[in-house]
Structure formats: C-alpha cells, structure tokens
C-alpha cells in the first residue's frame, strides 16, 4: 500500500513501527560516510601498478624531454596524446593541468572574471553576471560561481538533459548570462546522459553574450556501470560543424581512474580558446607535475588500455550501485514515497523524497551515524526549492557498510515521509 493511501491510524501505526526500527539502528552506533563521491580503497588498489612504472629510471617522454625538470607549460605531448581522445579533441586542443579539474574550472572562471574571454570585457567589470545551473547539480561548481558573485539560475533537468527550450530562450535574450555548468554524461547527481539532440542544441547555442561559455565537465565520460555503455555526442565536433567552436570548455581528469588528488586533469577547447588560455596560464605557473603525467602515460600506454582499465572499476562499483537501487526498489517503491533513476554510470544515485522531507531524512541519518551529502547541496546557494533531493554516494563504503547504511536510509525516508504526511 502506498503511504498516501493510508488513513491516519494506519499511518500512525506505520510511523511507530518505523520509529522502533530507527531507534534500534541508532543503538548500533554506526559511523559511515556516504557524503562524497570518493573511490574506495579497493578501487585505489586497481592503479597501484602506476606507482612503479618509473622504477626503470627513465624519466624522459618520447621526445627525450627530462620530465624531472622545469618546462612544458601545457603538458607533455605523450599525455596530450593519451588524454585527447577522452575529451574527443586534437592534441593542439588540450591543456594538461595539475591534479584537479575543479581547479582548472575555477581558473577559467577567474580568468573570465579578471581578464575577460577572448578580448571581451572582464566579468568583474560587468554590472551583472549570471550562470545557468541545471539542477540538481554539483555543489562545487555552484560554489565557484557563487564565490565570484555570479547570479545562478536553476534550469530543470529532464531525462535527456537540461531543459533546452528554457536555455535557448534565456541566453538569446540576456547578455549578462555568461555560462552554464554541465555534466553531460552520467550527470552529477542524476546520472543522466545528454541526448544527441541536447548536445547538438548546446553546440548550436547563439547566446547574446559573445563570451558565453559552456563549462562541459565530462568527469564521468568513461565511468560506466554496465557492459554496454552509451556515449554522448562530441560537443566540440558538433560546434565546429556550425562554426561555433569557441562556445565550449571541456574538462576531464583521472581522479576517479587512478588516484583522486594524485591524478591528472585536462581541458579541451578550440585552438583559439586554448591559445588564449595557454598564454594566460604562463603567468601563474612554469609547468605542472610532468612526472605524474609520465606515470599515467607509462601505466596506460594507450587510450584503449585506459578504457579497458575502467572495467575493473565497474566490477567494484556496479554491485554497490545495485545494493542501493535494489534496496530503494524493494523498500521505497511500494510505498510511493520517492523516485530515482538507476544510473548506468557516474558516481551517484539521485534520490527524490516527498517534497519537504530531504533535510529531515539527512538529519535522521546523521543522528544515527550515517553522513549523507547535505540536503540542498545539489542546488545553487544550497537551496533546494522543494527540499526533496538527496545525493547518495555508494562508492566509498564497503558493500556490507553500504547495505547497513541503506537499511538505515530507507527507514529514515519512511519515518520522515510518515511524519510529513501526518503533519498535513
């Protein structure tokens, strides 16, 4: 029986039973963290071979350059060759950064803010700067634009990507709209893949602001959870077809391929964008860590090997995601008190409770020892207008811990939903 079909007595009875189950859980004194998309130790072990690939004492790239020394601002050519196919760009359309794609995105926003994009007025000199933010989305994206005083506009997500009608209309009429945050494949947190039509419409956007940029964070482009993954269209290729190739900055990293915090990040864009960014980049750094680039190059050898390597991650992650969605399917679906999409890749399950319940669920979980991503975190300014979205991160805990945490989670969803329905 769906919860909303229960009469008050049934609901009270349901609530009391759930409360007892919750109290028993609380007594266990759990201490688990499902708050961030952190790989597990088991996943980190997959890349241990990379730690010894330089043991042969050869520190030169294929051009003979000694990677232990200064130089090569935009990354060694071998690293460009390895990672360019991940973004779907040519080797002169990529910059290899340090260990953090977030840092590269921050820097692009900072550059636009302080110096402007390809000769346009710096955003800091504009009366108003706005960004479009498909929601729910990634909290760290929103923090960057918030930090620079950018006004953020929520764009609803659909099953095929952000609402393109709304986006096309807004960017065409308002030249203070300077950008949009996108996670096009296995979106954070929904796990949605942008459809071909969505990518084409993005590539063909004609914003009023010449310096509008799509921040295309392709963080999960090869992070599949199934054996038959689908790929999204290459936005830069599509943009080139319509003479619009400067519209997009693409980002990727190996944070969830090798080591988070000790991986390699990169940016792909048109030659014109890349040349301008490279020139600016030289002011702040001589070169990034080329030994770490070389480790990745030697460990993987080819992009094909890198893609193959991801299957080892899938083998660890897929059962965990199944544990989450199976539990939701069994315990929540019959009660009609939440919805989610079973993701085919990425790092999250995006759970929508009854409106007005997300904060309460997160609080209940916390009080019983399970930390979730804060309710609201998936929206700009931390404000979820319906207070219903919760991002679940199954990757870090062991499957046993995860099962325990999910047992608690569904109890908290039930309890908060019953409380909510009883209060109405």
Considering the complex, what minimum distance in angstroms separates the CB of residue 70 from a second copy? 4
Considering the complex, what minimum distance in angstroms separates the CB of residue 332 from a second copy? 29
State which of positions 123-162 bind a second copy (CB under 8 A).
124, 140, 143-144, 147-148
Size of the site for a second copy (CB under 8 A): 51
User: Binding to a second copy by residue 69, rule CB under 8 A?
Assistant: yes
User: Binding to a second copy by residue 118, rule CB under 8 A?
Assistant: no
- Whether the link from the prior residue into 136 is cis, omega within 30° of 0, is yes
Phi, psi of 217 (to 5 degrees): -85, 90
Select from 1, 12, 28, 51 the one that contacts a second copy (CB under 8 A): 51
User: Binding to a second copy by residue 296, rule CB under 8 A?
Assistant: no
| Token code pair at residue 222 | 């090869």
User: Binding to a second copy by residue 71, rule CB under 8 A?
Assistant: yes
Q: Which is nearer to a second copy, 88 or 260 (CB)?
A: 260
- What is the distance between the alpha carbons of residues 132 and 214, in angstroms, rounded to a whole number? 9
- Mark the segment that binds a second copy (CB under 8 A) among 177-185, 289-297, 301-309, 415-423: 289-297
Q: HEC states along the chain?
A: CCHHHCCHHHHHHHHHHHHHHHHHHHHCCCCEEECCCCCCHHHHHHCHHHHHCCCCCCCECCCCCECCCCCCCCCCHHHHHHHHHHHCCCCCCEEECCCCHHHHHHHHHHHHHHHCCCCCCCHHHCCCCEEEEEECCCHHHHHHHHHCCCEEEEEEEECCEECHHHHHHHHHHCCCEEEEEECCCCCCCCCCCCCHHHHHHHHCCCCCCCCCEEEEECCCCCCECCCCCCCCCCHHHHHHHCCCHHHEEEEEECCCCCCCCCCCEEEECCHHHHHHHHHHHHHHCCCCCHHHHHHHHHHHCCHHHHHHHHHHHHHHHHHHHHHHHHHHHHHCHHHCCEECCCCCECCCEEEEECCCCHHHHHHHHHHCCEEECCCCCCCHHHCCCCCCEEEECCCCCCHHHHHHHHHHHHHHHHHHHHHHHHCC
- What is the distance between the alpha carbons of residues 55 and 191, in angstroms, rounded to a whole number? 39
Considering the complex, what minimum distance in angstroms separates the CB of residue 231 from a second copy? 27
User: Binding to a second copy by residue 67, rule CB under 8 A?
Assistant: yes
Q: Which is nearer to a second copy, 49 or 334 (CB)?
A: 49
User: Binding to a second copy by residue 33, rule CB under 8 A?
Assistant: no
Considering the complex, what minimum distance in angstroms separates the CB of residue 41 from a second copy? 6
Question: Pairing relation of β-strands 349-353 and 389-392?
Answer: antiparallel
Considering the complex, what minimum distance in angstroms separates the CB of residue 114 from a second copy? 6
User: Binding to a second copy by residue 55, rule CB under 8 A?
Assistant: yes
Select from 259, 300, 351, 379 the one that contacts a second copy (CB under 8 A): 259
Q: Which is nearer to a second copy, 69 or 305 (CB)?
A: 69
User: Binding to a second copy by residue 183, rule CB under 8 A?
Assistant: no
- 91 near 80, Cβ under 8 Å? yes
Select from 30, 42, 98, 158 the one that contacts a second copy (CB under 8 A): 98
Select from 18, 35, 99, 154 the one that contacts a second copy (CB under 8 A): 99
Select from 22, 107, 266, 379 the one that contacts a second copy (CB under 8 A): 107
Select from 118, 120, 262, 318 the one that contacts a second copy (CB under 8 A): 262
Select from 1, 12, 28, 48 the one that contacts a second copy (CB under 8 A): 48
Considering the complex, what minimum distance in angstroms separates the CB of residue 116 from a second copy? 12
- What is the distance between the alpha carbons of residues 140 and 111, in angstroms, rounded to a whole number? 18
Select from 27, 41, 64, 127 the one that contacts a second copy (CB under 8 A): 41
State which of positions 218-247 bind a second copy (CB under 8 A).
none
Q: Which is nearer to a second copy, 148 or 303 (CB)?
A: 148
Considering the complex, what minimum distance in angstroms separates the CB of residue 261 from a second copy? 5
User: Binding to a second copy by residue 114, rule CB under 8 A?
Assistant: yes
User: Binding to a second copy by residue 113, rule CB under 8 A?
Assistant: yes
Alpha carbon separation from 106 to 209, 249, 341, 351 (Å, rounded): 20, 12, 30, 28
Considering the complex, what minimum distance in angstroms separates the CB of residue 74 from a second copy? 13
Residues of the shown chain interacting with a second copy in the complex, contacts defined by CB under 8 A: 36, 38-39, 41, 44, 48, 51-52, 54-55, 57, 59, 66-71, 98-100, 102-103, 106-107, 110, 113-115, 124, 140, 143-144, 147-148, 255, 259-262, 280, 283-292
């Amino acid at each position: 029986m769906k919860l909303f079909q229960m009469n008050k007595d049934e609901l009270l009875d349901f609530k009391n039973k759930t409360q007892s189950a919750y109290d028993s859980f609380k007594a266990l004194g759990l201490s688990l963290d499902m708050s961030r998309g952190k790989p597990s130790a088991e996943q980190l072990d997959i890349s241990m071979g990379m730690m010894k690939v330089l043991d042969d004492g050869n520190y030169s790239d294929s051009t003979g350059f000694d990677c232990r020394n200064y130089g090569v601002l935009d990354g060694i050519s071998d690293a460009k060759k390895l990672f360019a196919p991940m973004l779907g760009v040519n080797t002169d359309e990529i910059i290899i950064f340090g260990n953090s794609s977030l840092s590269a995105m921050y820097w692009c926003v900072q550059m636009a803010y302080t110096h402007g994009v390809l000769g346009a007025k710096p955003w800091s000199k504009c009366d108003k700067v706005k960004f479009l933010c498909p929601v729910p989305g990634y909290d760290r994206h929103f923090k960057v634009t918030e930090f620079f005083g950018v006004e953020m506009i929520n764009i609803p997500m659909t099953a095929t990507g952000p609402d393109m009608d709304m986006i096309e209309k807004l960017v065409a009429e308002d030249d203070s709209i300077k950008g949009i945050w996108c996670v096009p494949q296995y979106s954070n947190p929904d796990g949605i893949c942008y459809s071909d039509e969505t990518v084409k419409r993005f590539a063909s956007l004609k914003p009023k602001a010449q310096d509008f940029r799509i921040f295309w964070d392709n963080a999960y482009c090869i992070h599949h959870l199934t054996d038959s993954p689908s790929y999204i269209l290459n936005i830069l290729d599509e943009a080139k077809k319509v003479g619009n190739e400067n519209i997009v900055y693409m980002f990727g990293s190996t944070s969830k391929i090798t080591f988070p915090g000790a991986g390699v990040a990169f940016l792909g864009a048109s030659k014109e964008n890349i040349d301008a960014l490279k020139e600016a980049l030289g002011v702040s750094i001589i070169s990034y860590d080329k030994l770490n680039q070389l480790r990745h190059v030697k460990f993987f050898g080819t992009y094909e090997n890198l893609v193959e390597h991801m299957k080892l991650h899938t083998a660890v992650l897929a059962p965990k995601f199944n544990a989450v969605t199976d539990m939701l399917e069994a315990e929540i679906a019959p009660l009609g008190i939440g919805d989610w999409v079973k993701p085919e890749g990425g790092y999250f399950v995006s759970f929508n409770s009854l409106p007005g319940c997300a904060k309460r669920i997160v609080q209940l979980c916390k009080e019983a020892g399970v930390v979730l991503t804060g309710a609201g975190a998936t929206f700009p300014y931390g404000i979820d207008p319906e207070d219903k979205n919760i991002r679940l991160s199954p990757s870090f805990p062991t499957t046993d811990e995860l099962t325990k945490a999910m047992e608690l989670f569904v109890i908290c969803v039930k309890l908060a939903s019953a409380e909510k329905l009883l209060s109405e």
